[in-house]
Structure 1
Amino acid sequence: MFKSDGIEPSGQAHFSGPASSAAARAGKDSDAREANHTREAWDRVRRRLRAEIGEEVYSSWFPRLELDGVQGGIVRLSVPTRFLKTWIQQHYIDRLSALWQEEASAARVELIVRTAVLRAPGTGSATIRSVTPAVRVVATEPAAAVAVSANPAEVANGSPLDPRLTFASYRLGESNRLAHAAAQKVAGAPAGSGPVFNPLYLHAAVGLGKTHLLQAIAAAGAENGRRVVYLTAERFMYGFVAALKSQSALAFKEQLRGIDTLVIDDLQFLQGKSVQQEFCHTLNALMDSGRQVVIAADRPPAELDALEERVRSRLAGGLVVEIAPLDEELKLEILAARTASLGQQHPGFNVPGDVLGFIARHCGQNGRDLDGALNRLLAHNQLTSRAITLEMAETAVRDLVRSGEPKRVRVDDILRIVAKHYNVSRADILSQRRTANVVKPRQIAMYLAKTLTLRSLPEIGRRFGGRDHTTVLHAVRKIDGLVGTDRALAEEVETLKRLVSDE
C-alpha cells in the first residue's frame, strides 16, 4: 500500500537492487491505479447525487463531505461537524450506500467526523493527513469548525468562523465590488454606532463569495469592539429547537437580542413556522432597537416565498445587493491566488498561464468550480508525476468543461411569465385555489421550474406556496404526459420555454 510519509514498515529487509526497484515501481503504479479508480467512483457518486437531489440541496449539505478511504469494501466518508454527520446519516446514508454499491461494489458507507489541522501561525506549511487509497487534495476545515454544541446558549454565541475568510483574502472584480464596499462599510462601523444599511442583504448563486463576505464582516466587526453573532440558517433552527426542548428559549432569545450585529447566512433554508416567527421577532427587535442585521441568501427577498410577506418586505427595505457571476479576469485572479496557496502546501506545484486561462474560460462560473479544477490538476500531478500542460489539463478536467454556461433561470421569472400568459396573478398560482383556470398554469409553472432549473422537488414545492414535493411530482408527470399527446399544449409549453429563456 502506498505510504505518503515515506517511512518503511519495520521488520522488513530493504533491497536496493533492480528487482526490488521494479517491484517498488510496480507497487506504486498499482496503488496509483487503485487510487485513481476510487477517486473516479467518488466523482460519479457525487455527480449522481447532485443530479438526484438538486443543486441547492447538494450545495448546502454535501460540499464538505469528503472521501477518507476505502478498506475491506467499507467506504469511509468524513464531514467537519457532528451536526452535519447526523443530518446526512438521517436523510441520505441509504442513498449514498446504494450509489457506492452500484459504482464500486462497496459493502457499506461509514460516516465519521474528521479532525482538521491548521497551519501553524507564521509558518508556510500545513499538516495535511494522508488518505489511502484515494489521495485527497483539498484544504482542511479549521479546528474551530469541528464541534457543534448541543447547548442552546452556546449556539446563540454563533457559528464558528473560518480565519481564512477575511476582507484581505477576498478577490475583487466588477461583479462583487458593490457588495464588498457595502460589507466593509458595515464591518467598519465603530462600537456603539447605529446601523449603516439595515438590513444589508446579499444574494447570489452558490460559490460566488456570500459566506466569505459575511464571515469577514463578523470578524472585522468583532475587531472593532462590536458584539457580533454569525449564524447559518440551519444553526439558527438547531439552536432554537434545542432551546425549546431544554426550556431555555427565553435565554436564547435574549442572547440574540442583546448583540450589536446579527449575521445570518443561507436564509433560504430557514424552515418551520415557529422558527420563522422567532426569526421575524428577533429581526424586528434588533432593527427597531438600532442594531445591525446582515443577511445572505441565494435569491432576492421577493423570491423567498417560504417566508411571510412582512418579513420579505422588511428585508427588501434595506440595501439589497446581488453578487454577479465571476468575469474571466476575476476568475484568473482567484485561480492565481489559490494556485500560489497550493504551491505553499505542495512545493513544486505550479500551473502555467495558458492552463489557468483554459480553466477560467471553460470550468464554471464560481469559486467552487475553480477549486475543483485545481484539485484535479494537483491530484493528477501528484499521482502520475506528469507535468501540468494544457493537454494534461484538458484530460484531467474534461468532465468539468462546459460548452457554454446556461442562463440562470429563476422561478420568479417562470411565475411571472406563466401568470401573464394565462391572465392570472402570481398570487393565484401560489394560492390554494383549485379552479381549472388556476390549476393548469400552476402545474405548467411547476413543470417548467423542474425542467428549466436545477431546483429539487421539495425546493420547488416551497417556492409554490409551501406545497409538498409529491404535489410537484404529480404536476410534472401530468404535464409531461399531456405534452406527448396534446399538440396544442406542447406548443404552449414550448412558447413559454422560449419566453423564459429570452427573459
Structure 2
Amino acid sequence: MTTTDSSEGQRELWNRVRARIKASVGADVFTSWFASLELEEIVDDVVHLSAPTRFLCSWVQSNYADRILEAFRQDAETVSRIQVTLRVNGQARPRLAPVVTETPAAEETATPAAPSAPMLASTVARFPRDAAAQPKGDALSGSAIDPRMTFDSFVAGEANEMAFGVAKQIANAAANNAVTFNPVYIHSTVGLGKSHLLNAIAHAVQSADASKNIVYLTADHFMYHFITAVQRQSALGFKEWLRRVDLLLIDDMQFLQGKSATEFGHTLGTLLTGAKQVVVAGDAPPRDLEMLDERVRSRLSGGLVVPISGFDLELRRAIVQRRADQATARYGMHFPAPVIDYIARAVISHGRDLDGAVNRLVAANQLTGELVTVPLAEKTLGDLIRSREVRRVRIEDILRMVSRHYKVPRNELLSARRSRDVVRPRQIAMFLAKALTSRSLPEIGRRFGGRDHTTVLHSVRKVEQMIKDDVELAQEIELLKRMLEE
C-alpha cells in the first residue's frame, strides 16, 4: 500500500478497522482510547494515526499498538508499523521518518529534538512479523523524566555531596562509553534527592550523546511493563529490550515485587556482564530489601552503595535560598534573610517540604499581596512545622521492630507461612504500617510480600478488634508505637 491509494479507500479501511477494534474491546474501552484517533495517511508499510493529547499517544502506543495493527493487517498484510502523532489545533505534527533496521525484532526510537523535553510529540511502534511488539527504550520519550531535575538545579551539601559527585562521575563516564562503579545504589529516606540525581544523570548523558539508549523506570513502571509483556506473551522481547540499553536507571527499588524482582535480577546480571551502567535508588540499604532475591541484594551490595543522610541546617538554608532566588527572579518578590533562616530551622523533615514551604509563601504573596515575613511564614507553614515533632516512621522500621520484639525473622513476616507465631506479628506489623505511615493499603500489601490490599485491611481490622478485647495486647502495641516514634 502506498500514498497513491485513494484517500477514500483509506477512510473506508479505517472505518472497518475501527469497527473491528470496537467489537474486540467493547464500547466503553473504544470510547476511552480509540474514538478520538484519526487516520492521517498510510505510506508504504506505515500507518500514521493522530491523537489529541500526548498522554493518549503514549497510552495507545504502549497498550494497543499491536491490536490496531492486527486489525489493519486483516485487510492490508503489508502494514507492519504504526506511528501515533500528536494532533494540535486539528492538525497532526509532521510525521517522523521510519527508522531503517536490519532485523524485524530491532526496536525503533525517535531522537528527541531537545534533551530537556520530557516527552516526544509522537512515538513509533514496530510490529515484527515473527514476534510481539517490543517496548520502546528511549527514556525521554515516555518515562517520567523531569526537565527541572538537572545537576545545575541540585543543591549539594555535606549530606549528599558523595552521591552528587558519584552521579556526575557516572554521567561523564556513560557519555564517553565507559563504566566506573557498577552497579550504583543510592539510598535515603523520602525527599532527599535520589530521584533528582537519577533524572540528572539521564539528562546529562542524553545531552552529551543523543544516540545513547537510556532507560529510566520507576519500580512500578518496571513491574507494569514486565507484567504486560507476560500477558502479551512477549516477555522475551522485553528482556532483550532491557539488555540492549546503555544506561539503566531504576527508581523506588523498594516497590519491586514478585516475578518482576526476579526478572530485574536476571537483567542486572546480564547488564553487569556486558559492562553496561546500572544505577538504582531505594529508601533502604540493599540488605534491607527483603522483597528481593538474596542474589540481587548481593549484587547491589557488591557495587557502590551511596547513602544520603538527613539535611543539616546549612544545607536546608542553601536549598531554601536557591528556591527563594528562583521565586525572586520569576515573580519579583523578596524573601528576607530572617524568613529564609526561619524556614531552614523550622522545616526539618525533607527537601520536598522545603520546596513546598517556599511555594506556599509565593502563593500567599501572589494571592493576598502580603509581604513575605516571619509572621506570614508562621501562619502559612504551621502543619509543616508541626511535622518535625513526629518522627517519620518507615515500613522497614516497623518490620525491624516487630521482628526483634516477637523474635520472628523478617523474611518470615514477608513469607506465606500461616502458623500462629508468624501470623499475629505479621498482622500487627501491617496494623502499625497503616497507623504510623502514609502508605496506602495496596502499597503496604506490596511491601509485605506482594499481598492484596484486602489482606492488609483484614489484618488491620483484626488487630483493632484484638486491642478492644485484650488490654495487655493494647498496651504492648502502644509501646511498639512509642518506640517507633521516638
> Normalization by structure 2: what TM-score?
0.67
Say if 2:362 is the partner of 1:388: no
User: Matched residue of 1:296: which SS?
Assistant: strand
- Rounded to whole Å, the distance in 2 between the matches of 1:375 and 1:491 is 42
Matched with 2:247 is: 261
How far apart are residue 293 of structure 1 and its match? 0.5
Q: Distance in 2 between matches of 1:331 and 1:83?
A: 40
Contact 2:258/2:450 (<8 A) preserved: no
Tell me if structure 1 keeps the 8 A contact 2:328–2:335. Answer: no
Taking the aligned partners of 1:287 and 1:430, their CA distance within structure 2 comes to 29
**Maintained 8 Å contact 2:135/2:241:** no
Are 1:156 and 2:137 matched, yes or no?
Answer: yes
Return 5+ residue gaps in structure 2 as ranges: 1-52, 61-85, 89-115, 126-132
Q: Determine which of 402, 406, 412 is the counterpart of 1:428.
A: 412
Q: How does 1:65-214 map to 2 (within 5 A)?
A: 81=55, 143-145=117-119, 149=123, 151=125, 155-160=136-141, 161-189=145-173, 194-214=178-198
After TM superposition, give the deviation of residue 223 of structure 1 in Å: 5.0
Asked whether 1:221 is paired with 2:205, we answer yes
Name the amino acid aligned to 2:254: Q
> Match of 1:404?
388
1:333 paired with 2:307, answer no
Q: Aligned with 1:202: secondary structure? A: strand
Aligned position for 1:287: 272
Q: Which amino acid aligns with 2:249?
A: V
Query: 1:447 corresponds to which residue?
Result: 431
TM superposition shift of 1:285: 0.9
Q: Distance in 2 between matches of 1:248 and 1:175?
A: 43
Q: CA deviation at 1:376?
A: 1.8
**Cα offset for 1:201?**
0.7
Displacement of 1:80:
8.5
Distance 1:490 1:255, change over 3 A: closer
CA distance in 2, matches of 1:178, 1:345: 31
Structure 1 residue 418 displacement after superposition: 2.3
CA positional deviation for 1:240: 4.5
Q: Is the 8 Å Cα contact of residues 328 and 360 (structure 1) preserved in structure 2?
A: yes
Deviation track 1:171-223 (CA, whole Å, cap 9, x = no partner) reads 11121112112212222226666532221011223322112211222233345
Q: Give the superposition deviation at 1:458.
A: 1.9
Superposed CA offset, 1:296-316 (max 9, x none): 123333333433333233222
In the other structure, the counterpart of 1:322 is: 307
Report the more deviating stretch, 493-502 or 433-442: 493-502
| Equivalent residue, structure 2, for 1:494 | 478
Q: What is the CA deviation profile of residues 129-155 of structure 1, one whole-angstrom value per residue up to 9, with x for unaligned ones?
A: xxxxxxxxxxxxx75347684847663
State whether residues 174 and 277 of structure 2, in contact with CA within 8 Å, keep that contact through their aligned partners in structure 1.
no
In structure 2, what is the Cα distance between the partners aligned to 1:457 and 1:162?
28
Using a 3 Å threshold, how does the CA distance of structure 1 residues 83 and 362 change in structure 2: closer, same or farther?
farther
RMSD over equivalenced CA pairs, Å: 3.2
Stretch deviating more after TM superposition (194-203 or 395-404): 395-404
Return the offset for 1:238. 4.8
Question: Cα distance 1:399–1:500, how it changes in 2: closer, same or farther (>3 A)?
Answer: closer
CA deviation vs aligned residue, 1:97-124 (integer Å, no higher than 9, x gap): xxxxxxxxxxxxxxxx9x9xxxxxxxxx
Check whether the contact 1:428–1:438 (CA below 8 A) recurs between aligned residues. yes
- In structure 2, do the counterparts of structure 1 residues 380 and 206 end up closer, same or farther at CA, with 3 Å as the change threshold? same
Aligned-pair identity in percent equals 49
User: CA 1:487–1:466 in 2, change beyond 3 Å: closer, same or farther?
Assistant: same
Query: One-letter code of the match for 1:176?
Result: N
Q: In structure 1, what residue type is equivalent to 2:457?
A: L
Q: Using a 3 Å threshold, how does the CA distance of structure 1 residues 350 and 82 change in structure 2: closer, same or farther?
A: farther
1:360 matches 2:344: yes
Which residue in the other structure is 1:303 paired with? 288
1:73 corresponds in structure 2 to none
Post-superposition shift, 1:321?
1.9
Shift of residue 333 of structure 1? 1.0
Provide the C-alpha distance between the structure 2 equivalents of 1:475 and 1:80, rounded to a whole number of angstroms. Answer: 41
Question: After the TM superposition, which of the residue ranges 332-341 and 151-160 deviates more from structure 2?
Answer: 151-160
Structure 1's 235 and 434: CA in aligned 2 closer, same or farther, altered over 3 A?
closer
Q: Retained in 1: the 8 A contact 2:137–2:215?
A: no
AA matched with 2:377? A
**After the TM superposition, which of the residue ranges 260-269 and 283-292 deviates more from structure 2?**
260-269
| Alpha-carbon contact 1:82-1:146 (below 8 Å) kept | no
Task: Answer 1 or 2: higher relative contact order, Cα 8 Å, separation at least 6.
Answer: 1
CA shift for structure 1 position 478: 1.8
Report the TM-score, using the length of structure 1 for normalisation. 0.65
Distance in 2, Cα, partners of 1:464 & 1:241:
19
Number of matched pairs: 369
How many angstroms does 1:272 deviate by? 5.8
Q: Report the secondary structure of 1:402's partner residue.
A: helix
**What are structure 1's unaligned runs of at least 5 residues?**
1-78, 87-112, 116-141
Which whole-Å CA distance do the structure 2 matches of 1:359 and 1:148 have between them?
43
Query: 1:389, 1:191 → 2: CA distance?
Result: 45
Residue 50 (structure 2) aligns with: none
